Amino acid sequence: MTRQQSQQLAIWVITAVSAIVVIPILIVILYMLYNGISTISWEFISQPPRNGMTEGGIFPALLGTIFLTLGTAVAAIPLGVGAAIYLAEYAGDNRLTRAIRLAIVNLAGIPSIVYGLFGLGMFVLFLNYGTSILAGSLTLGLMTLPVIISTAEEAILSVPQEFRIVSLSLGATRWQTIRNQVLPHALPGIITGVILGLGRAAGETAPILFTVAAFYLPNLPKSIFDQSMALPYHLYVIATQVPGMPLGIQYGTALILLFIVLSLTLVATLIRSTMRRRREW
């Protein structure tokens, strides 16, 4: 085999591998579109389920997922970004920070059901928040923390060191330097990480199983101490727990959930690419 031939072969193999990765995703999306698109209408999005959930829409679950995602953001962003700033800008390399980093890596590796059980023990029972949006948001927030911390830290570290040195040499304090030179330039990366983390949280079932999600609620939640329906759990329920569930509703619900997660990811990608293009250095 000549060098040109082996090169050709390598390109073919790599292309084939890429296709193998992409094709199943496309098939899943197309199959869901084929089966679910006809169900989706304004009524489906804006109405509660009716008749033992076999009719009507998914509004309470959709709203619940939106609330939970916002709650996750409120819980995880300050903590995650704060921790990232500390790790990247203030903490040196010592036993304490190595322990913190190790803990973060381990947090990322914990199965989501374990977060769910921890949330049950910690927020629902011990702190007595009950099965509530608060408990669910905190549990999801905890699960999202490692993603936010590591992407935000990476974004902060990618800001050129010269900007920090110049800022300090011009008489800025350390915090002024972080505030004026580091965070503005790290922001696109931080936002991207936050949105990706939230996208993952929006689609999770296990952490909300014991902490917030309701099988069916006739009323919408009135405060953060109320239970709520949520899309991923609702999908699980109608796919496995309700006999005689029309397929169209199942696929429609899955499509909406997929749409939410995909659009969050898309927004993250867009933010990253536009801000990168606008960057001067």
Partner 1 sequence: MKEQAMTPAKISVKNTTFTYGDGTQALKNINLDIRPNELFVLFGPSRSGKTTLMRLMNRLSDLIDDTTREGEILFNGQDVFGRRTDITDLRRRVSMVFAIPTPLPGSIYDNMTYGLRMAGIRDKAVIDERVERGLQQAAIWDEVKDRLDSSAFALSGGQKQRLCLARSLALEPEVILLDNPTSGLDPISTATVERSLYELKQTYTIIMVPHSVQQAARVADRAAFMLNGELVEVGTQQELFLNPHDKRTEDYITGRFG
Q: Which of residues 134-153 bind partner 1 (CB under 8 A)?
A: none
Q: Is 168 in the site for partner 1 (CB under 8 A)?
A: yes
Nearest to 124 by CA among 62, 215, 207: 207
Q: Is 280 in the site for partner 1 (CB under 8 A)?
A: yes
Residues with Cβ < 8 Å from 208, sequence gap 6 or more? 68, 116, 136, 139, 140, 230, 232, 233
Q: Is 281 in the site for partner 1 (CB under 8 A)?
A: yes
Q: Which of residues 37-96 bind partner 1 (CB under 8 A)?
A: 92
Residues with Cβ < 8 Å from 118, sequence gap 6 or more? 139, 142
Q: Is 166 in the site for partner 1 (CB under 8 A)?
A: yes
Instruction: Find tokens 């990480």 and name the residue.
Output: 193
| Interface with partner 1 (CB under 8 A), residue from 170, 218, 219, 244 | 170
Beta bridge partners of 55: 50
Tell me the site size for partner 1, rule CB under 8 A: 19
The 173-192 contact track toward partner 1, x by CB under 8 A, reads: x--x---xx---x-------
CB nearer to partner 1: give 159 or 208: 159
Which letter does DSSP use for residue 55 in this model? E
On whether the CB atoms of residues 148 and 241 are closer than 8 A, the answer is no
Chain-centre distance of CA 234, in angstroms? 18
CB nearer to partner 1: give 185 or 200: 185
Binding site for partner 1 (CB under 8 A): 92, 162-163, 165-173, 176, 180-181, 185, 279-281
